[in-house]
Structure 1
Amino acid sequence: MLTVTALSGGYGQANVVREADFAVGTGEIVALLGRNGMGKTTLLRTVFGLADRQGGEVAFAGRPVPPGRPDVLARLGASLMPEDRGVFPTLTVEENLALATRRSFAPAVDVHALFPLLTERRRQPAGTLSGGQKQQLGIARALLAGRRLVVVDELTQGLQPSVVTDVVAALQRVAASGVAVLVVDQQPDRTLDWCHRVLLMESGRLVLDTPIAAETRRRCHELLMLR
């Protein structure tokens, strides 16, 4: 579904991501892991045209995606929840969800059932929500907009453990429906429990791209210095 080839990117003259190659297939759940400051967020932003593409190519559903054009991926059915959640603070929860809703598409999960607060606080301005509540709204928006690909940066940030469990189950159902899923998270042990494949980033480069297995976990622990 998403194919990235020799992608380099950053901000102006600053190069952050160097020659990244990876793909996310239909129905696949991929984890992008790495320590803070390794370039994960910049990689996502470069893919989506929100950071400067300094080289390489991005293709989605067999179509080339030009640099600096986030609208192209959005029209083709890809969604990104950025690190700052990407909600519109002056709009209500209901209005934020309406903007993300796509005609003729309903995700495999009911976002209101997944996050009851979206109904309880539907008339509340998004900017007045707590961090965890904004996280739920941001994930819901990504699920509503991502008919082919859902990308979430910092998946579990601000979420209670019980909500994380529900979100993981929801993303698994979404993937089972044929949507590609790519997530960044700061809880690698938990993420490795439910994703199909892992990408590991070190100093702006992808240094590991492999299905998740026992050896994968050991290698991730070494590179992330978890143990």
Structure 2
Amino acid sequence: MLELHELCGGYGQAAVVRDVDFRIAAGETVALLGRNGTGKTTLLRTIFGLADRQGGTLSLAGRTVPPGRPELLARWGAALMPEDRGVFPSLTVAENLRLATRKGFVPAVDPREIFPLLTERHQQAAGTLSGGQKQQLGIARAIVSGQSLIVVDELTQGLQPSVVRDVLEALTGIAATGVAVVAVDQHAGLLLDRSHRAVVMEAGRVVFDGPSTPQTREELDRLLAVG
């Protein structure tokens, strides 16, 4: 589904992400992990054209995405919920969802069933929502637009543990229909229990890419340890 080969990216001449090789198949869930400042967000921003691609190749479903053409990812069904949630503050909750919804696409999970506030506050301006409520709206926008790939940055940000579990269960169900899912967070927590693979970054490079199993937890705990 999504393939990166020797991808390098950053801002201007500053390289943050270096020589990243990464592949996620249709229907696969990947936990992208790492301590703060290890390059996770910059990797996502490079993929989606929000940071400068300085080298390497990127393809989605076998189709090459040239540098400077990030709109192709959206056209081909990839959706990113960025670290800042990506909602339009002056639009209502309903308008945000309507703008994000892919024409003719019905997601496997209705985000209104996960997040009741999408119905309860549908006429409220998104900019007046709390941080956790904006997080729910941002994830919902990714669900209604991500026909082939959903990427959620800082998934647990502002969410109660019970809501995190509901979101992960929903994303697991969506992945079962063939959508590739990447969930990013500083904290491994429940992500590893719900993911097929774990990818860990350190200093802008991938230092672990393997199955998320009890057998790999000791190594993952070592890589993610603070200090």
Partner in structure 1 of residue 103 of structure 2: 103
Separation in 1, partners of 2:113, 2:212:
30
TM-score if structure 1 supplies the norm length? 0.98
Unpaired runs of at least 5, structure 1: none
Partner in structure 2 of residue 118 of structure 1: 118
Deviation at 1:226, TM superposition (A): 5.5
Partner in structure 1 of residue 182 of structure 2: 182
Alignment of 1:1-227 (within 5 A): 1-225=1-225
TM-score if structure 2 supplies the norm length? 0.98
Query: Is the Cα contact below 8 Å between 2:7 and 2:17 reproduced in 1?
Result: yes
Separation in 2, partners of 1:118, 1:204:
36
Separation in 2, partners of 1:180, 1:68:
23
Deviation at 1:187, TM superposition (A): 2.1
Runs of 4+ that moved beyond 3 A: none
Separation in 2, partners of 1:166, 1:73:
27
Separation in 2, partners of 1:145, 1:38:
28
Separation in 1, partners of 2:18, 2:186:
22
What amino acid is the match of 2:213?
A
Task: Kindly provide the CA deviation profile for residues 34-66 of structure 1, in whole angstroms up to 9, marking residues without a partner as x.
Answer: 000000000001011110000000000110001
Separation in 1, partners of 2:186, 2:225:
13
What amino acid is the match of 2:194?
W
Task: Kindly provide the CA deviation profile for residues 131-153 of structure 1, in whole angstroms up to 9, marking residues without a partner as x.
Answer: 00000000000000000000000
Query: Is the Cα contact below 8 Å between 1:30 and 1:196 reproduced in 2?
Result: yes
Separation in 2, partners of 1:170, 1:226:
30
Task: Kindly provide the CA deviation profile for residues 49-108 of structure 1, in whole angstroms up to 9, marking residues without a partner as x.
Answer: 110000000000110001232211000000000000000000000000001111111111
How well do the aligned residues superpose, as a CA RMSD in angstroms? 1.1
Percent of aligned positions that are identical: 66
Q: Secondary structure at the match of 1:27?
A: coil
Unpaired runs of at least 5, structure 2: none
Q: Secondary structure at the match of 1:178?
A: coil
Deviation at 1:224, TM superposition (A): 1.2
Deviation at 1:128, TM superposition (A): 0.4
Query: Is the Cα contact below 8 Å between 2:135 and 2:159 reproduced in 1?
Result: yes
Query: Is the Cα contact below 8 Å between 2:49 and 2:68 reproduced in 1?
Result: yes
